[in-house]
Structure 1
Amino acid sequence: MGAFDWFWKALGAQSERNDTRSKQVVTRAEDLLSELSALDDATLAQRARALAVDGEITDKSEFLAILSVAATRTLDMTPFTVQSQAVLRLLEGDVIQMATGEGKTLAGAMAATGFALTGKRVHVITVNNYLAGRDAEWMSPLVSFFGLSVAAVTEKMSADERREAYLCDVVYAPVNEIGFDLLRDNQITDRSQQVQAPGDVALVDEADSVLVDEALVPLVLAGSVAGSQSTGEITAAVGALKEGRHFTVDGDRRNVFLTDSGAAEIERRLGIDSLYDGEHAGNVLVRVNLALHARALLIRDIHYIVDDGKLALIDASRGRVADLQRWPDGLQAAVEAKEGLTVSDGGRILDQITLQALMSRYPAICGMTGTAVEAVNQLREFYGLRVSVIDRNRELARIDEDDLVYAGVAEKNVALVERIAAIHETGQPILVGTHDVAESEYLAEALRARDIEVAVLNAKNDEEEAGIIAHAGERGRVTVSTQMAGRGTDIRLADGVAELGGLAVLGTSRHRTARLDNQLRGRAGRQGDPGLSIFFVSLEDDVVVTGRGDIAVSAQPEEDGQIPTRKIREFVEHCQRVTEGQLLTIHAQTWKYNKLLADQRIILDERRAALLDTDRAVQELSARAPERAAELAGLPPEALAHAARQIMLFHLDDEWAEHLALMDDVRESIHLRAIAKETPIDEYHRIAVREFKDLAQRAVDKSVDTFRIARITAEGVELGEGLARPSATWTYMVSDNPLSGGGSGALATMESFFS
């Protein structure tokens, strides 16, 4: 037996032991339900608190039984046996796999309540604002039953509202809001300004998405510094270029390259000698490349929409637009110029953290998803997490048909519309999962031309999501949704629909990972309901084009364009496995670059906390500049300490921002190291270590200089010209995640948080 085989056998044996033990605990819990149901609310709640001793649960069976009785009383929802098993595995720190519709929301709320009863503050981490608000409201009666507090943190809340919410025992919040609040808190100059109360436990919904797919997505805090923008002249020049002659785009449409002919054309139109000389390379060339990226790779109604004269970005993995999102580094301005909109100011990166580094800050992590098994390696490697598979409450009755593969997109779309029309005639409700806004609107128009009424759920009408989903399981309904896999919402069948075959789920293409396909499939067949799933694929689809490489396919399509052979279906599966492999390679490589910065940021955070919470700043500055300290001896001690703290925190934060900018530049050019026979990642680490080594000392030296010359009074300190913090900050996400398809995948959330 090989080492790999031994590992999987050992893992399976451990999982089986956990499963057996969990079922024994749950069986005993069910035996206690009758006895505990006779207790009044106050006695039941007190009994639960008595079972939590020093952060541990002394009798897990009784604890589960109490949570079950409380759920029945407060929510009118009695947990199934499998839900109680899920709660137990969550409380023991696993990522659980539960199929869609099996009750993850209730299981998560029961586990969160259980953790909170042991004295731990719980962050229930969701993938969007809608779910955070909905789940907090749904589950608050259960949490409140035990005298615990619960709240949601969502995008539009003020700093004061967030501060109050974070003090609760159970906090529901989107992962990006948790991260952005942490970044903003790392800019404060007085502890009273802090918004976030740290969590002890992260209970992650859609765990594979947050912990794996988007693990290496950086969350960024930027400040209001005027940046170089793409001018109308550059936009016009780039708009005149022709693809193939003046620029080329790589196969998966993630990169665009200016040709020699294109460079010459730009130089002619801008009236300059060379794009690449010292005068223009650092400014004009950058803006030309941004404008070219905006033109060739970012497509309206796929990567963004224009709403009321403003640019609104689409989070491709979720199918939504978050309020006030923006791209970084001049890209936002380039797209705005391309669309003829008012161009926004640029900014400077003040701080950033990856989702993986963010999640690793929690002392304990657990999670739930419908598709964890496929991500077991990453969950173990990144976080040391186990995966427990929870059985279905009822056997799956959904029919998963073989893919229908077509030679081209046009033939596929015709067949898709015909199949939808045929199913619609039976009255069976239909959910069509598309990949972007443009595709959803094209398909809806084609169906309406056949007199089929369609409800469209995409980034243009997110606010209508709850209503659309509420009716999606009714007889005769046709719902077209972008990225349904990322919406985390449950579709319930109306009366009489089960007899028609349940919900029919049709995918317009395979995703770049099978897990997203399975999430879409899982919208049908909940709780033993009947259902149908089928994917329509073409050889021109993104996943096939990206994954096929140089492989040539020899297959003769039928008259309607279909290629109904097992060989072609296996080829599509091969292409998908290739794209999944590409994702893993990108993740592994990106993780290596980000890991060192994450370690450095921990050191920086410790230094910042020491300056913020002690008198170290005034002690260090007084020791380095005793003559200045003597001059200021007449000031109230707290005023002097506060001024010293402001000075040292400013320069520490400023040096960290410079370090991030430098390492970003190094990473952009690190591939050139390979030409010099150097290993890029090793060279990157060498530079990062060298530069960080001097960061703290530079910050201290500059602080001493400022301390000597700054005007310091009892009212405060005037840092002087060029040393003020930004008057406004905004946050954004920069995605290296190719799951989103073509384009950059960069996302940003701008907010009016003032320093």
Structure 2
Amino acid sequence: MAVGTLFSRLLNRPGAAASSSFRWAHAALKQIGDAEKELKKLSDDELRDAAGDVYGDGEPTRAQHIEFVGIAREAGRRALDERAFDTQILGTLGLLSGHVVEMATGEGKTLAGAMAAAGWALAGRSVHVLSVNDYLAGRDREWMLPLHEMLGVATDSIDQNTPADDRQRAYAAPICYAAVNEVGFDLLRDRFIERDADQRIEEFDVVLVDEADSILIDEARVPLVLAGSTNTEAFDAELPRIIAELDPDVHYEVSPDNRAVSLTGAGLDAVEERLGGIDLYGDDSDRLSAVNIALYAHALVHRDVDYLVVDGQIRLVSDSRGRVAQLQRWPDGLQAAVEAKEEVSATASGEILDSITVEELINSYRSICGMTGTAVAVGEDLREFYGLEIAVIDPNVPCVRDDEEDRIYATTAAKDKALISEVRKHHRLGRPVLIGTRSVADSERLAEQLTSRRIDVEVLNAKDDKREAEIIAKAGAKSAVTVSTQMAGRGTDIRLGGDEVVDLGGLVVIGAGRYHSSRLDDQLRGRSGRQGDPGSSVFFTSLDDDLFRRVPEASRLADAADESGRVTHRRAAPLLEHAQRILEGENTAIHRDTWRFNQLVQKQRSLVLDKREGIRHDGVGQSEVIEGARDSIVDDAIEEFGEAAVHAGLRDALLFHLDERWVEHLEFLNDLREGIHLRSLAREKPHEAFNIESIKAFETFWPDVLSSTIDTVNNAEFNENGIDLVGHGMRRPSSTWTYLTTESVSSSDIESFVRRLGKKG
């Protein structure tokens, strides 16, 4: 019996009609299972042909998706010796229907994603599978290669070392695995090409996002930057030394949320005196920004927490991943300030040619789907910013992990002592222990305390993550103790070391403090209890932790601590959860704020890119330039060098001035946004003020491009290749470079700014 006929018969059974919710996928499981016996009879070639025949030319139907996943399950069984669980089948159907799929750690998201990517590709779509880093992208592509070959789908991957020509080939494959930042960088590079042959990415069709909550929410606002005309960003080396001499109790104040710092009146006087008696709010006001940035770098940016110093260079640490953030740097002079503070060589900076946020990149795709272990908590955000819905997939085997209540202590010292005692207890029993920490400094402090008690410890943090897979592979062995920074996005499951470990109770997960997001807590917990394994989890927190410091009333709970320093007051746990919700709400508000600012910029960028394509392919702007040029200059050039050469020269000149004008406009918008919130002091709405100013500035964009191009035509010389732009001093950057930046950092919030003005006056 033909496969198509078999599925048609199965799908026509009573009760198999698709419903309006994801329940249709659950209803299809029996149909898929019933087809499995017939699919096993097919040869490999017949199975491959069947996969290629599933989808027609139109929009894929649910019936076709159901038919395909049955074939994909059989292909996985043969190629990988992995028969997809029903939960993985549901995950695949969720991805094929454009959902963000929530599947717990250890449930096999990689296989579900690979099957879904193949389905999209066989339906005639171009698929990018985006991961959080190069390692996972390359690993997953190689891991799933036999499956994709069995299904007859070609795949490729890129990383930061992939040459330009190879990138074009990789993106042309039906399925391309890549890190999200690499695709973003290539999109930026493509915006400045002058010839079609240089374009790396032909289309943004389907994106399947691994660790979707991390990429779509945690890193949504991260700008990816293309820069040129490199130089060295100098910073006054005297300022970090002056700031380091200030007394934090006298000279500056840190806001309760640890996001802002400001000089007090005494601090302002002290800095002005040390700088030679200058007036920072008078004739020397240009130094005020540098002083504030140096203060921010000193008080709020911490070594081995926010960054590392590696081989004489500053390396930022990703808060949501607990590892070095490759190619990432701070904006607004903060990078240079931290480099001056640590007395390392200043890195190159440059003129920003263009930038794009991760959110803008993802929304460039026609179809979006994704998978993660923790999506429900950000369901509203996914719906608001991407129009995505969540499909929650229950575990293949129910989770039996024992999640204990938080143990809360008055001080960090008391917390550490109790945590070490808990580790020693489980270590004596032989249970493996995983300790999750907030920072490199925390991981090293706890590891040192454990080592001093003769407990062998493996440390996994941003300083050395090259042994990541090896360390995690051993973390479930009997008596193993592993200390790690953030586990989200690690991409490797911790498997228990045999029946003996199972009998002992499985992996113990201990959190050394709550993270800023409950999702990251859940990611850590999820390392234990995978696929029905036994296990337990508990978090140790203290009133000194950042989260508790966000709620002033928490400090009063210290009086309720017992002799061991443990706080058992009934208000303690609710306050901790309240603080976490506050921070999650603040992050959503910032995301929404960033999104609102970016809306107009995106529209203006889209208009510029459309104009650029028109210049390249349709001669847009040339008639206006010819009309505005000096009499006969263009006609004379055509007569001497030919029409093709002259039009090529006009095109190149228009492209140069359009790109140059966009860089200027982008710089204006960045400067405008830096100070726009101060408009609230004048009772203006910042977003409205930003839109009014940016629209006004953009009104002259195209006229300026035409005017500059006309000046070039009037003064430059034509030749057989067009116009000698270089000879006329119009040079493009000799090289471009890419990096990620953090969001803009302000040295003070509006209230502290106003307070300083008041003290100065």
Shift of 1:61: 2.7
Corresponding letter in the other structure for 2:736 = T
Corresponding letter in the other structure for 1:651 = H
Where does structure 2 lack aligned partners over 5 or more consecutive residues?
A: 1-17, 750-761
**Deviation digits for residues 174-231 of structure 1, max 9, x if unmatched?**
2111111111211222222222232310111111222222222222222234365212
User: Which segment is superposed worse, 572-581 or 625-634?
Assistant: 625-634
Match of 1:673 in 2: 679
Distance, in Å, in 2 between the alignment partners of 1:548 and 1:154 is: 46
CA contact (8 A) 2:621 2:706 kept: no
Shift of 1:420: 0.9
User: Is 1:512 the counterpart of 2:516 in the alignment?
Assistant: yes
Distance, in Å, in 2 between the alignment partners of 1:522 and 1:367 is: 19
Match of 1:363 in 2: 366
Corresponding letter in the other structure for 1:406 = Y
CA contact (8 A) 1:57 1:63 kept: no
Q: Secondary structure at the match of 1:199?
A: coil
CA contact (8 A) 1:55 1:119 kept: no
Distance 1:154 1:350, change over 3 A: same
Distance, in Å, in 2 between the alignment partners of 1:727 and 1:549 is: 57
Distance, in Å, in 2 between the alignment partners of 1:673 and 1:737 is: 17
Distance, in Å, in 2 between the alignment partners of 1:570 and 1:494 is: 36
User: Which segment is superposed worse, 451-460 or 221-230?
Assistant: 221-230
Distance 1:552 1:727, change over 3 A: farther
Shift of 1:486: 3.6
- The equivalences for 1:18-417 within 5 A come to 18-57=21-60, 59-226=64-231, 228-271=233-276, 273-278=278-283, 280-282=284-286, 284-417=287-420
Q: Which of the residues 651, 654, 677 maps onto 2:660? A: 654
User: Is 1:723 the counterpart of 2:730 in the alignment?
Assistant: yes
Match of 1:606 in 2: 610
Name the count of aligned residue pairs: 725
Q: Secondary structure at the match of 2:104?
A: coil
CA contact (8 A) 2:330 2:742 kept: no
Corresponding letter in the other structure for 2:533 = D
Q: Secondary structure at the match of 2:42?
A: coil
Match of 2:455 in 1: 452
Distance, in Å, in 1 between the alignment partners of 2:273 and 2:386 is: 54
User: Which segment is superposed worse, 696-705 or 536-545?
Assistant: 696-705
Match of 1:747 in 2: none
**Deviation digits for residues 14-61 of structure 1, max 9, x if unmatched?**
x99533311222221111111111111222111111111115445333
Shift of 1:722: 5.8
Match of 1:684 in 2: 690
Q: Secondary structure at the match of 2:308?
A: strand
Corresponding letter in the other structure for 1:653 = D
Corresponding letter in the other structure for 2:734 = S
Distance, in Å, in 1 between the alignment partners of 2:645 and 2:318 is: 46
Match of 1:700 in 2: 706
User: Which segment is superposed worse, 222-231 or 289-298?
Assistant: 222-231
CA contact (8 A) 2:329 2:742 kept: no
CA contact (8 A) 1:328 1:732 kept: no
Distance 1:596 1:550, change over 3 A: farther
User: Which segment is superposed worse, 409-418 or 635-644?
Assistant: 635-644
Distance, in Å, in 1 between the alignment partners of 2:140 and 2:179 is: 11
Distance, in Å, in 2 between the alignment partners of 1:423 and 1:635 is: 84
User: Is 1:535 the counterpart of 2:534 in the alignment?
Assistant: no
Q: Secondary structure at the match of 1:196?
A: coil
Corresponding letter in the other structure for 1:654 = E
User: Is 1:464 the counterpart of 2:467 in the alignment?
Assistant: yes
Distance, in Å, in 1 between the alignment partners of 2:409 and 2:264 is: 34
Distance, in Å, in 2 between the alignment partners of 1:402 and 1:16 is: 40
Shift of 1:726: 2.0
CA contact (8 A) 1:166 1:197 kept: yes
Corresponding letter in the other structure for 1:286 = S
Distance, in Å, in 2 between the alignment partners of 1:476 and 1:353 is: 47
User: Which segment is superposed worse, 65-74 or 215-224?
Assistant: 215-224
Distance, in Å, in 2 between the alignment partners of 1:692 and 1:441 is: 51
Q: Secondary structure at the match of 2:329?
A: coil
Shift of 1:234: 3.0
Distance 1:602 1:80, change over 3 A: same
Shift of 1:555: 5.0
TM-score calculated relative to the size of structure 2: 0.91
Distance, in Å, in 2 between the alignment partners of 1:591 and 1:407 is: 39
CA contact (8 A) 2:257 2:549 kept: yes
**Deviation digits for residues 710-733 of structure 1, max 9, x if unmatched?**
233224532456632222333233
Distance, in Å, in 2 between the alignment partners of 1:298 and 1:209 is: 22
CA contact (8 A) 2:327 2:739 kept: no
> Which has the greater radius of gyration?
2
Distance, in Å, in 2 between the alignment partners of 1:363 and 1:197 is: 13
Q: Secondary structure at the match of 1:397?
A: coil
CA contact (8 A) 1:639 1:713 kept: yes
User: Which segment is superposed worse, 452-461 or 49-58?
Assistant: 49-58
Distance, in Å, in 1 between the alignment partners of 2:206 and 2:352 is: 29
Q: Secondary structure at the match of 2:348?
A: coil
Distance 1:550 1:665, change over 3 A: farther
Match of 2:498 in 1: 495
CA RMSD of aligned residues (A): 2.4
Q: Secondary structure at the match of 2:528?
A: coil
Corresponding letter in the other structure for 2:546 = D
Distance, in Å, in 1 between the alignment partners of 2:701 and 2:674 is: 21
Distance 1:619 1:36, change over 3 A: farther
Distance 1:138 1:226, change over 3 A: same
Corresponding letter in the other structure for 1:86 = G
User: Is 1:435 the counterpart of 2:442 in the alignment?
Assistant: no
Distance, in Å, in 1 between the alignment partners of 2:633 and 2:423 is: 79
Q: Secondary structure at the match of 2:303?
A: coil
Match of 2:3 in 1: none
**Deviation digits for residues 580-635 of structure 1, max 9, x if unmatched?**
22222222222211222122222222122222333335444334326332232132
Q: Secondary structure at the match of 1:533?
A: strand
Give the % identical residues. Answer: 45
CA contact (8 A) 1:97 1:389 kept: yes
Distance, in Å, in 1 between the alignment partners of 2:263 and 2:641 is: 61
Shift of 1:547: 4.2
CA contact (8 A) 1:618 1:640 kept: no
Distance, in Å, in 2 between the alignment partners of 1:613 and 1:524 is: 57
Match of 1:10 in 2: none
CA contact (8 A) 2:227 2:351 kept: yes
- The equivalences for 1:620-639 within 5 A come to 620-625=624-629, 627-633=632-638, 634-639=640-645
Corresponding letter in the other structure for 2:674 = E
Distance, in Å, in 1 between the alignment partners of 2:552 and 2:209 is: 34
Distance, in Å, in 2 between the alignment partners of 1:324 and 1:379 is: 27
Distance, in Å, in 2 between the alignment partners of 1:631 and 1:225 is: 39
Where does structure 1 lack aligned partners over 5 or more consecutive residues?
A: 1-14, 744-755
User: Is 1:582 the counterpart of 2:586 in the alignment?
Assistant: yes
Q: Secondary structure at the match of 2:82?
A: coil
